[in-house]
Chain A
Amino acid sequence: MAVSTVCTTQSLNSTCSISTPEKTHLGFHQNQVVFYRRTSKRGGGSCVITCSVGDSQTVVIGLAADSGCGKSTFMRRLTSVFGGAAEPPKGGNPDSNTLISDMTTVICLDDYHSLDRTGRKEKGVTALDPRANDFDLMYEQVKALKSGIAVDKPIYNHVTGLLDPPELIKPPKILVIEGLHPMFDERVRDLLDFSIYLDISNEVKFAWKIQRDMAERGHSLESIKASIESRKPDFDAYIDPQKQYADAVIEVLPTELIPDDNEGKVLRVRLIMKEGVRHFSPVYLFDEGSTISWIPCGRKLTCSYPGIKFHYGPDTYFGKEVSILEMDGQFDRLDELIYVESHLSKLSTKFYGEVTQQMLKHADFPGSNNGTGLFQTIVGLKIRDLYEQITSSKTAAPLEATKA
Chain B
Amino acid sequence: MVLFLLLASTLLGMLAGLLPVVGMQSEREANPRSDYQPPNLQPLPSPASSNCSQLTLKLEFSSEVVEHEYIVAFTGYFSEKARSLYISSALRGAGDKNLEWHIVPRENPASDFPSDFELVHIKQASSSSLLTLEDHPYIKRVTPQRKVFRTLKYIPSPEPAAPFQIVIDCSSCFSGLGHGTFVAGVIASMRECQGFAPDSELHIFRVFTNNQVSYTSWFLDAFNYAILKKIDVLNLSIGGPDFMDHPFVDKVWELTANKVIMVSAIGNDGPLYGTLNNPADQMDVIGVGGIDFEDNIARFSSRGMTTWELPGGYGRVKPDIVTYGSGVRGSGLKEGCRSLSGTSVASPVVAGAVTLLASTVLNRELVNPASMKQALIASARRLPGVNMFEQGHGKLDLIRAYQILNSYRPQASLSPSYIDLTECPYMWPYCSQPIYYGGMPTIVNVTILNGMGVTGRIVDKPIWQPYLPQNGDNIDVAVSYSPVLWPWAGYLAVSISVAKKAASWEGIAQGHVMVTVASPAENDSEVGGELTSTVKLPIKVKIVPTPPRSKRVLWDQYHNLRYPPGYFPRDNLRMKNDPLDWNGDHVHTNFRDMYQHLRSMGYFVEVLGAPLTCFDASQYGTLLMVDSEEEYFPEEITKLRRDIDNGLSLIIFSDWYNTSVMRKVKFYDENTRQWWMPDTGGANVPALNDLISVWGMAFSDGLYEGDFTLADHDMYYASGCSIARFPEDGIVIAKNLKDQGLEVLKQETAVVEGVPILGLYQTPSEGGGRIVLYGDSNCIDDSHRQKDCFWLLDALLQYTSYSMTPPSLSHSHSRVAPPVGAERPLPQRLEGNHLYRYSKVLEAHLGDPKPRPLPACPHLSWAKPQPLNETAPSNLWKHQKLLSVDLDKVALPNMKSYRPQVRPLSPGESGAWDIPGGIMPGRYNQEVGQTIPVFAFLGAMVVLSFFVVQLTKAKSKPKRRKPRIKRPTYLQQQTATAGKNPTV
B is a partner of A: no
Q: Measuring CB to CB, which residues of chain B are less than 8 angstroms from any residue of chain A?
A: none
Q: Measuring CB to CB, which residues of chain A are less than 8 angstroms from any residue of chain B?
A: none
